[in-house]
Amino acid sequence: MGIEGINNIDPEITKLIIDHLDGVVITDAQGRYVYVNDTWSEMMGGIKLADVKGKYVKDLIPDTKIDFVLKTKKPITGHMITTKGPSKTKLFSTYVPIFNKQGKIVAGFIHVIIKGMENAINFSFRINSMATQLEYYQEELKKIRGAKYTIDNIIGNSPEIQELKRKIIQASRSNSTVLIEGETGVGKELVAHSIHDLSSRDASPFIKVNCSAIPRELLESEFFGYEEGAFTGAKKGGKEGRFEMANKGSLFLDEINQLPLFSQPKLLRALQEKEIERVGGKGSIPVDVRVIAATNMNLERMVGEKKFRSDLFYRLNVVKITIPPLRKRKEDIPLIVENLIEKLNFQLGMKIPGISEDAEIKLMEVDYDWPGNIRELQNIVERAMNSSWVETLEWIHFKDYFTSKNPKFIDKVSKNNISKIKDIKAELEKETIINVLDNSITKAEAAKKLGISRTSFYKKLKKYEINS
């Protein structure tokens, strides 16, 4: 079958059209060569129709997509192929299935772009380069406007922390509002950042609002923005509110319990209707925002005391996460302290080598409720580091803090108890490291899961003689 059998158009006109194109190949319904034009033959180094007629295209061009197109009945445009032979020429091909009047595939049409090929490849490379740059800038923007912390910044292996991380991962999978409850200093903001970082909104803004820090008269304009001339002192051109700034991302409302009652109805409307109205504005602005709220007080109790609207509480309390206080997970203190020392060494320009086991154990066992939680622990670690300066932190560097809190403080941990606790702690730590190693691909991943540096991790492997 030659060019004459392709269709009912005058064969000479058909041939003239095809010869003006770049490389042209026509196949049968099984993907075998039926026709090739002269340009294609020249591009292929002199291969004629007689050399390939009846052979499968894939035998000559392994990268071809003609078989896929004939099977799926869908065309493909701009597919790059590489020819066989020493030159290994790169070409762009378009594949089109040809149907008869009954809708049955009778042929395949391949158009190979040869002219301007170098420009096409350069254009492709430029597009790829721009895509890479765009991805880089998106990552940089995420660092600037996105979450500062991740779930890996939550340190601890206690059952309470494992359950907290499970709830964070669960919350990140939806767009429902989240209510985070916890005492002062437990890390509510860290949890909010972690939820955003794990969510599908991670590349979009994470905007924080401290409800207790904004003057009451400015709350509405801070939340919803304002139009030019809305009030005396309004900026020219108006101003975006936090809801607009957080569009497509997450809005973290810290200390939501401090939000005045008169502001709560408008917040409720924004959550329900997914739209806001600027101060002085005449129309509504749609917003796509995932709200994460945090409170250090029991909102349900505040509702009962008429200090918080019940309808807003129910709208916020869709996914609830309660962060355990430090006193309920004291076994995490050693890991937290080691992490704090590493972080503070960098921030303060110090080189504290670490903390003694005796000090770690006494910090766990001391008769103290840690009302300030992690924030308080960081404070006393920093105090101790300034006291020791370059030495390993010992209990003596911490003891005065507890004495200042309670002049009648008695160090109740006996030497025998310390010895027993040391053994229990060591065994637990060794077991934890082995378990984490077994569930990690690399040692770096295991160290990250434990919340410690790789240097500290390798020291512990050597200490416990763990082979991996």
* Cα–Cα dist 365/424, whole Å: 13
* Cα–Cα dist 107/26, whole Å: 7
* Cα–Cα dist 435/223, whole Å: 46
Residue 83 confidence (pLDDT) = 63
Q: Which amino acid is located at 433 in the chain?
A: I
Rounded to the nearest 5°, which phi and psi values hold at 21? -85, 170
| H or E segment and range at residue 207 | strand 206-210
Residue 59 confidence (pLDDT) = 87
Specify the residue for token string 């992490």: 339
User: Is the CB of residue 385 less than 8 Å from the CB of residue 343?
Assistant: no
User: Is the CB of residue 297 less than 8 Å from the CB of residue 157?
Assistant: no
Rounded to the nearest 5°, which phi and psi values hold at 253? -100, 95
Q: Which amino acid is located at 284 in the chain?
A: S
* Cα–Cα dist 395/399, whole Å: 6
Q: What is the dihedral of CA 251, 252, 256, 260, to 10 degrees?
A: -40
Q: Which amino acid is located at 140 in the chain?
A: E
DSSP 235: P
- pLDDT tens, per residue, the chain with 468 residues: 444 444 454 566 666 666 667 788 999 999 999 999 888 888 888 889 999 999 999 988 888 899 999 998 889 887 877 665 555 667 788 899 998 888 889 999 998 876 555 555 555 555 555 555 555 555 555 555 566 788 989 999 999 999 999 999 999 999 999 999 999 999 999 999 999 999 999 888 999 999 999 988 889 999 999 988 888 777 888 888 999 999 999 999 999 999 999 999 999 999 999 999 999 888 899 999 999 999 999 999 999 999 999 999 999 999 999 999 999 999 999 999 999 999 999 898 899 999 999 999 999 988 899 999 999 999 999 999 999 877 899 999 999 899 887 766 656 554 555 555 566 667 777 888 888 888 887 888 888 888 787 888 888 888 888 876
* Cα–Cα dist 155/153, whole Å: 6
Q: What angle do CA 40, 42, 43 make, to 5 degrees?
A: 65
Rounded to the nearest 5°, which phi and psi values hold at 99? -110, 150
Q: Which residues are CB-neighbours of 289 under 8 A, at least 6 positions away? A: 243, 246, 247, 248, 249, 250, 251, 274
Runs of H (alpha helix) within 349-414: 357-365, 373-388, 396-405
pTM greater than 0.85 (yes/no): no
The token pair at 462 is 């050597």
User: What is the separation, in whole angstroms, between the first and last Cα of the chain?
Assistant: 67
The token pair at 3 is 């060019």
Domains of the chain with bracketed CATH: 3-114 (3.30.450.20), 151-324 (3.40.50.300), 328-463 (1.10.8.60)
